[in-house]
Amino acid sequence: MKLFSTIILILFALTASAQKMNKTIEDPTTNRSILINQCTREGLVTFPEMKERYDIEYPGYTPDSAVIDSIKLLIKDLKMTIVLGTWCGDSKLQVPHFFKILDALSFPAKNVNIIAVNGLKKAENGLLDSLNIQRVPTFIFYKDNKEKGRIIESPQTSLEQDLLTILSKE
């Protein structure tokens, strides 16, 4: 009976602590409904605040194919985190472009962590505490569990060229 009770308690604790994906809240900072915490791509691109611009920006963006071919040689074991605000104009512009690049790379979705923040650029439960997020969107790239670099808010040249520059660094 003790074992059964312990298992039930552990399962309850795990369920209670699990974060809901694609969680929506009313953000007092922006006075609008936003996504917060971890999101799926599907949840993000169907969220009304993002969908309107996504439906324009994604098909309208054409990544540089030569740069994409160069990136393909460097993405083995690459993981990334995208931190964005569904209320943020730069996120609404850059994130659809970035998804277009990921699709051109056939990049595995399991290697992409998407985190939505509120108007104060915070998520719940300390989700971003170690990431030092100042502006959104922020695209963070990891190899061998070490940060290789970031694209913050807007690219210097283009998203794909900036990604190639980051991945080409030793």
Where in the chain are the domains?
21-168
pLDDT band at 94; cut points 50, 70, 90: very high
Q: Which residue has the higher pLDDT, 51 or 13?
A: 51
Dist CA 133 CA 135 (whole Å)? 6
Tens of pLDDT, residue by residue over 136-152, are: 999 999 999 999 999 99
Q: What is the CB-side half-sphere exposure of residue 24 using CA atoms within 13 A?
A: 10
Q: What is the CB-side half-sphere exposure of residue 21 using CA atoms within 13 A?
A: 8
* Contact predicate 163/151, CB 8 Å: yes
Dist CA 165 CA 158 (whole Å)? 10
Q: Which residue has the higher pLDDT, 5 or 59?
A: 59
CATH of region 21-168:
3.40.30.10
Task: Report the mean per-residue pLDDT for the chain.
Answer: 91
> Which residues have C-beta within 8 Å of that of residue 164, sequence separation ≥ 6?
67, 70, 71, 74
Percentage of the chain modeled with pLDDT above 90 = 86
Tens of pLDDT, residue by residue over 26-50, are: 999 999 999 999 999 999 999 999 9
- State residue 97's pLDDT score: 98
Tens of pLDDT, residue by residue over 35-88, are: 999 999 999 999 999 999 999 999 999 999 999 999 999 999 999 999 999 999
pLDDT band at 1; cut points 50, 70, 90: low
Which whole number is the average pLDDT over 101-115?
98
Dist CA 123 CA 35 (whole Å)? 10
What strands, in cross-sheet order, belong to the sheet with 138-143? Answer: 23-27, 32-39, 112-116, 78-84, 138-143, 146-152
Tokens representing residue 67 in the block: 């740069």
- State residue 19's pLDDT score: 63
pLDDT band at 170; cut points 50, 70, 90: confident
